[in-house]
Amino acid sequence: MLRRIITFVILAFASLLLPNCHGWHSQVWQDEDEPNIEILGLGHVKTLGLTSRFIDDSSLRRSILFMLRKRGLSAPRPLGDLPSGISQGFLDSSQLMSLNATFPGRYWLRGEMDIRPEETLIQRKYSLSLSLEIVDLATGRIQAQGSVHRTELETIRRSHILEGLRILLGGLLVREEGTLSAFGI
């Protein structure tokens, strides 16, 4: 009887400590060199599908900034300081390299979010996909990228988006001696 109680307590405690990833599928890739990230610029996050129906661009950016702050990182975005000829949209590698001269950090975070309907016989459900990549501004190369995907959601709530961001950023960033490093699972 004592063994059962101890086993139950251990399982209950472990379930509280382990992240709740039920229903999420994730994939993370990283370059062989693990960069130490001190400042991470938050670039453009494309919104696809029905995303704008559930969350606007500024709320999505605030959610990403919130999750980065929870990880102990600030993410300035030089909206007014972009070099001439560079839009505020999804930057290509040459534009990112020219941004390296004006941005105080070396790494840039960008990505996309997609919400799609899934038709079933009974009711409409949705799938949520988030993908982010960390780009080295000095070289224009992608240092790390990851994605999470969840299906069969009856509606999309901010809590779903935050949970996906938590899982995704947890896979892309890890604390090491006061800095963040990009790594893959």
Q: Which residues, in sequence order, are CB contacts of 54 under 8 Å at separation 6+?
A: 115, 155, 156
DSSP conformation class of 106 = S
pLDDT in tens, 88-136: 677 777 788 787 777 777 888 999 999 999 877 777 899 999 999 998 8
Asked if the model's pLDDT at residue 159 lies above 50, the reply is yes
Q: Give the integer Cα–Cα distance in Å for 36 and 28.
A: 17
CATH number of 24-182: 3.40.50.10610
Q: Where are the domains of the chain?
A: 24-182
Q: What is the pTM of this model?
A: 0.74
Average pLDDT over residues 2-30: 60
